[in-house]
């Protein structure tokens, strides 16, 4: 079947529908949904039941980059800085040095057992060196897995922030494979440029985006998530155009925005949560369509050997060495090692050698695909089991909620108070978003001139308004009074 304008919406919507239904039922059997999305794509592909002809790595790469923008941005918005701050050093170490160690360890192993050159081996190691944000976020949340102390923030911070490092290494070693006359030292300036410009751009665009979101008056609540999407793509493309790492920039930008007071923040978070799921499905379906199963079979033996080495040796070595300077129990290090899931990101990165036309591009792509599938299948299905074995899991009854969970789930407060705004209050003639209302309370209604006003971030508080406030507890009232005194 060839995809035409007349049938692409029908075929696409049917694949999306089947993926959602199958993904829902898969929870009962403990099968990772992302693996099923891949399988559905393969069944619908050129060698599958439906027989959709799709062999366009360039288009697949474009879809992958767009999808990763949404997935990383959503993960950044959902990152609570208060939870991440205590483990920021560990997270950065895992997402930089840990990725480099994984790529080096695996690259040397591939070089020793294959006819790959050292640069080709390092390219393969770099492609699969990062944990996959889509896989980690999806599996941890779908399994509703509660972990002790700061373990879960560490895992989500690492998976959300280590793709930029893997991307830089992939591009760097690809350039060495293509240009044999270049020296290894020539990639150091590229690395520094990508990471420094990416980090600076992300922070700057985050601050600018906050001002734009809060100051611009769009008139319609539904336009604010659309505005954020535009800002997300501007951040990525502008950073990339000046030689910075766009993936790092959008993640830092999203983390900054997710921890600020924004107009219609609840609407923005809910929409991006849904879009992240949509992009995960689209990404895995697309990569499934791109794969030809008969081309993978010849590489299953070497692929399984490399995958097992990555899971059992390379990943644990990188975690234990990277975490050597931090006080941490070995069972926590072991669990972090096991949650080294490879998913769609390595497959997307594997399209770069295909488009560059290097000699072993097809072999690298098929091995990477096999590594990603086995990683999700082996590690993704056993996260809960290993959490129990290593005693790092929490009973569901004591699972903590993050601040972003409050926006997504609309958790109820336990205390309510009516507060009248005096003419001398510092809140008079200010928007709700500008008075920095405490996180432990929110305004559900405003009584003004015997009428009720539904509040939003852009609502201006007037003298003699009566605010109906819901709070976490009675102690939150002191924080509210400090803000509006």
- pLDDT at 466 (0 to 100): 87
Q: Is the pLDDT reported for residue 410 higher than 70?
A: no
Instruction: Give 474's pLDDT tier (boundaries 50, 70, 90).
Output: low
Domain coordinates in residue numbering, the chain: 56-279+293-398, 412-484
Strands (E) across 331-398 are located at none
Q: Point out the least confidently predicted range of 183-187, 352-356, 403-407.
A: 403-407
Q: Point out the least confidently predicted range of 27-31, 314-318, 447-451.
A: 27-31
Q: Who wins on pLDDT, 127 or 185? A: 127
Do 368 and 127 form a contact (C-beta atoms < 8 A)?
yes
Do 393 and 147 form a contact (C-beta atoms < 8 A)?
yes
Q: Who wins on pLDDT, 433 or 296? A: 296
Pick the CATH number of 56-279+293-398 from 1.20.1530.20, 3.30.1950.10, 1.20.120.80, 1.10.3720.10: 1.20.1530.20
Q: Who wins on pLDDT, 361 or 45? A: 361
Q: Do domains 56-279+293-398 and 412-484 have the same CATH topology?
A: no
Q: Which two tokens stand for residue 84?
A: 């991440």
Tell me the average pLDDT across 444-458.
81
In this structure, how many other beta carbons lie within 10 angstroms of the beta carbon of residue 239?
27
Most confident region among 139-153, 194-208, 445-459 by mean pLDDT: 194-208
Tell me the average pLDDT across 105-123.
93
Helix (H) / strand (E) containing 461: strand 460-461
Cα 420 → chain centroid = 42
Q: Is the pLDDT reported for residue 407 higher than 60?
A: no
- pLDDT at 468 (0 to 100): 84
Do 42 and 372 form a contact (C-beta atoms < 8 A)?
no
CA angle 454, 463, 484 (to 5 degrees): 85
Concatenate the DSSP letters of all residues of 315-339 into one string: HHHHHHHHTTTS---HHHHHHHHHT
- pLDDT at 401 (0 to 100): 47
Query: Percent of the chain having pLDDT more than 70?
Result: 88
- pLDDT at 308 (0 to 100): 94
- The residues facing 445 across adjacent strands are 468
Instruction: Give 110's pLDDT tier (boundaries 50, 70, 90).
Output: very high
- Give residue-wise pLDDT tens across range 360-373: 899 999 999 889 88
CATH class of 412-484: alpha beta
Say which residues have a Cβ less than 8 Å from residue 424's Cβ, sequence separation at least 6: none
Do 100 and 169 form a contact (C-beta atoms < 8 A)?
yes
Q: Point out the least confidently predicted range of 46-60, 168-182, 405-419.
A: 405-419
Instruction: Give 397's pLDDT tier (boundaries 50, 70, 90).
Output: very low
Q: Is the pLDDT reported for residue 464 higher than 50?
A: yes
Do 322 and 94 form a contact (C-beta atoms < 8 A)?
yes
- pLDDT at 320 (0 to 100): 93
Query: Percent of the chain having pLDDT more than 90?
Result: 26
Do 124 and 367 form a contact (C-beta atoms < 8 A)?
yes
Instruction: Give 212's pLDDT tier (boundaries 50, 70, 90).
Output: very high
- pLDDT at 233 (0 to 100): 95
């Amino acid at each position: 079947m060839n995809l035409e304008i007349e049938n692409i919406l029908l075929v696409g919507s049917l694949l999306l529908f089947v993926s959602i239904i199958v993904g829902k039922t898969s929870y009962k059997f403990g099968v990772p949904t992302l693996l099923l999305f891949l399988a559905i794509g393969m069944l619908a592909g050129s060698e599958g039941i439906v027989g959709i002809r799709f062999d366009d790595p360039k288009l697949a790469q474009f879809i992958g980059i767009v999808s990763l923008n949404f997935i990383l941005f959503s993960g950044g918005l959902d990152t609570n800085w208060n939870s991440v701050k205590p483990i920021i050093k560990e997270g950065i170490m895992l997402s930089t040095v840990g990725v480099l160690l994984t790529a080096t360890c695996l690259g040397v192993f591939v070089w020793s057992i294959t006819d790959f050159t050292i640069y080709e081996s390092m390219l393969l190691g770099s492609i699969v060196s990062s944990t996959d944000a889509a896989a980690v976020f999806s599996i941890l949340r779908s399994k509703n897995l509660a972990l002790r102390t700061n373990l879960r923030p560490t895992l989500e911070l690492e998976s959300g922030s280590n793709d930029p490092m893997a991307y830089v290494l992939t591009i760097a070693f690809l350039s060495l494979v293509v240009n044999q006359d270049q020296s290894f030292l020539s990639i150091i300036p590229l690395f520094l440029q990508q990471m420094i410009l990416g980090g600076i751009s992300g922070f700057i665009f985050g601050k600018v985006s906050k001002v734009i979101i809060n100051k611009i008056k769009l008139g319609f609540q539904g336009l604010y998530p659309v505005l954020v999407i535009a800002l997300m793509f501007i951040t990525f493309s502008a950073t990339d155009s000046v030689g910075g790492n766009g993936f790092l920039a959008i993640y830092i930008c999203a983390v900054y925005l997710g921890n600020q007071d924004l107009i219609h923040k609840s609407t923005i978070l809910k929409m991006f949560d849904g879009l992240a799921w949509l992009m995960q499905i689209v990404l895995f379906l697309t990569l499934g369509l791109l794969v030809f199963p008969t081309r993978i079979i010849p590489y299953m033996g070497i692929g399984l050997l490399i995958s097992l080495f990555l899971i059992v040796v390379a990943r644990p070595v990188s975690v234990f060495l990277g975490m050597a300077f931090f006080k941490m129990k070995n069972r926590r290090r072991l669990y972090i090692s096991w949650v080294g899931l490879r998913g769609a990101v390595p497959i997307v990165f594997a399209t770069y050698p295909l488009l560059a036309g290097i000699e072993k591009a097809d072999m690298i792509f098929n091995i990477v695909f096999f590594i990603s599938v086995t990683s999700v299948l082996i590690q993704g299905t056993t996260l809960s089991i290993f959490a129990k074995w290593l005693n790092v899991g929490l009973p569901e009854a004591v699972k903590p909620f993050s601040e972003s969970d409050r926006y997504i789930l609309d958790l109820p407060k336990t205390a309510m108070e009516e507060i009248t705004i005096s003419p001398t209050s510092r809140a008079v003639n200010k928007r709700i978003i500008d008075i920095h209302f405490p996180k432990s309370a929110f305004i559900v209604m405003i009584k003004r001139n015997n009428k009720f006003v539904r509040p939003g971030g852009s609502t201006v508080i007037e003298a003699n308004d009566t605010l109906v406030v819901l709070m976490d507890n009675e102690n939150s009232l002191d924080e509210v009074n400090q803000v509006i005194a």
